[in-house]
Amino acid sequence: MILVPNPLQLLSGSRFTRLFILSFLISYNSYANLTKSKCFSLDKGLSSNILTKENKTENQDSLYEITFRGKKFLVPPHKKSFKISVLLPFHTDAVNSPIDKKRANVMLEYYQGIKTAIKQIDSLDSKFIISFHDTDNDTNQLKKILASSEMKSVDIIIGPTNRNQVQIASSYCKSHKIPLLLPITNWIDSDFNPYVFNMNPSEVNKAEVFLTYYKNHHKDKKLVIIRDNGYYDRTFGNALINTCKQQQISVKIVPYSTKIDWSSIIDGNSIVIHTTQDKIKLNYTVTSLQAHHKNVILVGSDKLLEFNDIDYNQWEKLNILFLSEHKSQVPNIRSNQMKVSYRLDYRDDPSWFSYMGYDHVLFACEVLDAFGTYFPLFIEGKEITYANMDFSMNRTESNFQNKYLGIFRLVDGQLMVENIK
């Protein structure tokens, strides 16, 4: 039986709500490929690095074969019943300020995404208890939640979002060997914590993915970056420039202006990246580059995709790419399924936060079902596809980071996925 209380009840004052218990049947035949190898064997020297919450009587020699997303794996025996706790600032008692109200709405959308995922999780073989805890965006409240005896038996924690609270949760999870999936905040510590998984790609990771695309497909083109000192420029723009320096990629920096002399900048074929989220500024750049359209590929943020017919007519005179973490902007089977289910439940389209909750809880349930708490051994560096985002968890000096970025090309008014590799 699936028990799901009304979300409005969840957000009305309770600090802890046990949401649902799910029982499932395995079905992976339609999943996409996860790895190139036909069979993944467990490394014998990894016992000190894996999560060791499984029964100590399990024998690594008694591996058995499973199929996950179309590929076969040899995995150790593991339990088939798991607990997942979601620790987020639902703000049941703190909705007096506009910021609190906005945060509460975002958390509701995330929660609704998780509810929508129930139908997909229902195809798994394992049993799950998924509980929700309201941190109220309060450090003391988080400490109380983590101090409860129930938390010690949790298999995965999702959240929190506040940086100070993430630090507390990170230390707790490292001490108790519990994987911590961070849905929004990127947590980077000086010490390596193998239990922290940043689900949201960092700006550095996105810069690295874009430069991989650049080197694989356009390394003969000159790289030009237009900077406007806005938010996107200060985040992704800075990360891109620093990564270019680290990889010794030559790049020309151009301050944004409505009077840029492109004749003195464009020398042969070029890729021009405009690190702005201001559509007016981008339109100025589009107009000024049209005289060089045969030699230029223009790259911009996906925040600029809310354009009208006039923008289409202007922008399609150039080769233009958009960088995005949200691949559901290009219709795909998974995002379509999620959207249909969400519309049936809420009579509305899912927000990015709804997609986030949907993808994150599916990821957590699917990897636990397939690999148990040994899952880091099997997913590291492998790309796993979901509705709105792919997860490619890479080990860094600090923790595990999702290294994902979508690159879309505008062709005849439609977005097409670019091959990064």
Whether 51 and 123 map to the same domain: the answer is yes
| 49 pLDDT tier (thresholds 50, 70, 90) | very low
Q: What is the mean pLDDT of residues 65-93?
A: 87
| 311 pLDDT tier (thresholds 50, 70, 90) | low
In a domain, 417, yes or no: no
Whole-angstrom Cα distance, residue 71 to residue 107? 35
Q: What is the mean pLDDT of residues 156-180?
A: 92
What CATH number does the domain containing 49 carry?
Answer: 3.40.50.2300
Query: pLDDT, tens digit, for every residue of 178-189?
Result: 999 999 887 777
In a domain, 413, yes or no: no
In a domain, 412, yes or no: no
The answer on pLDDT for 10 being more than 70 is no
User: Which of 306, 324, 342 is the C-terminal boundary of a domain?
Assistant: 324
Output the pLDDT for position 330: 83
HEC secondary structure over the chain: CCCCCCHHHHCCCCCEEEEEEEECCCCCCCCCCCCCCCEECCCCCCCCCCCCCCCCCCCCCCCEEEEECCEEEEECCCCCEEEEEEEECCCCCCCCCHHHHHHHHHHHHHHHHHHHHHHHHCCCCCEEEEEEEECCCCHHHHHHHHHCHHHHHCCEEECCCCHHHHHHHHHHHHHHCCCEEECCCCCCCCCCCCCEEECCCCHHHHHHHHHHHHHHHCCCCEEEEEECCCHHHHHHHHHHHHHHHHCCCCCEEEECCCCCCHHHCCCCCEEEEEECCCHHHHHHHHHHHHHHCCCEEEEEEHHHHCCCHHHHHHHCCCEEEEEECCHHHCCCHHHHHHHHHHHHHHCCCCCHHHHHHHHHHHHHHHHHHHHHHHHHHHHCCCEEECCCCEEEEEECCCCEEECCCEEEEEECCEEEECCCC
Output the pLDDT for position 225: 94
**Of 21, 19, 152, 177, nearest in space to 88 by CA:** 19
In a domain, 52, yes or no: yes
Output the pLDDT for position 8: 32
| 105 pLDDT tier (thresholds 50, 70, 90) | confident
Whether 298 and 389 map to the same domain: the answer is no
Output the pLDDT for position 97: 74
Whether 32 and 48 map to the same domain: the answer is yes
Query: pLDDT, tens digit, for every residue of 322-344?
Result: 898 888 888 788 999 999 999 99
Name which of 83-92, 143-152, 285-294, 303-312 the model is least confident about. Answer: 303-312
Output the pLDDT for position 32: 27
User: Which of 324, 357, 378 is the C-terminal boundary of a domain?
Assistant: 324
Whether 275 and 364 map to the same domain: the answer is no
Whether 112 and 140 map to the same domain: the answer is yes
Whether 292 and 358 map to the same domain: the answer is no
Whether 175 and 45 map to the same domain: the answer is yes
Whether 40 and 171 map to the same domain: the answer is yes
Whether 276 and 345 map to the same domain: the answer is no
Whether 147 and 43 map to the same domain: the answer is yes
User: Which of 324, 351, 369 is the C-terminal boundary of a domain?
Assistant: 324
- Residue 316 tokens read as 């399609």
Output the pLDDT for position 234: 94
The answer on pLDDT for 23 being more than 90 is no
Whether 31 and 83 map to the same domain: the answer is yes
The separation between CA 314 and the C-alpha centre of its own chain, rounded to angstroms, equals 32
Whether 215 and 356 map to the same domain: the answer is no
Output the pLDDT for position 258: 87
In a domain, 418, yes or no: no
Burial classification of residue 212, based on how many CB atoms lie within 10 Å of its CB (0-12 exposed, 13-18 middle, 19 or more buried):
middle
Global confidence as pTM: 0.81
Specify the length of the chain in residues.
421
The answer on pLDDT for 52 being more than 50 is no
Output the pLDDT for position 58: 47
In a domain, 295, yes or no: yes
Query: pLDDT, tens digit, for every residue of 231-284?
Result: 999 999 999 999 999 999 999 999 998 888 888 888 788 899 999 888 888 888
In a domain, 410, yes or no: no
Q: Give how many domains the chain has, as a whole number.
A: 2
| 45 pLDDT tier (thresholds 50, 70, 90) | very low
In a domain, 419, yes or no: no
Query: pLDDT, tens digit, for every residue of 198-214?
Result: 999 989 999 999 999 99
Range of the domain at 286: 203-324
Whole-angstrom Cα distance, residue 385 to residue 370? 15
- Residue 26 tokens read as 């395995």
- When the pLDDT of each residue in the chain is averaged and rounded to a whole number, the result is 80
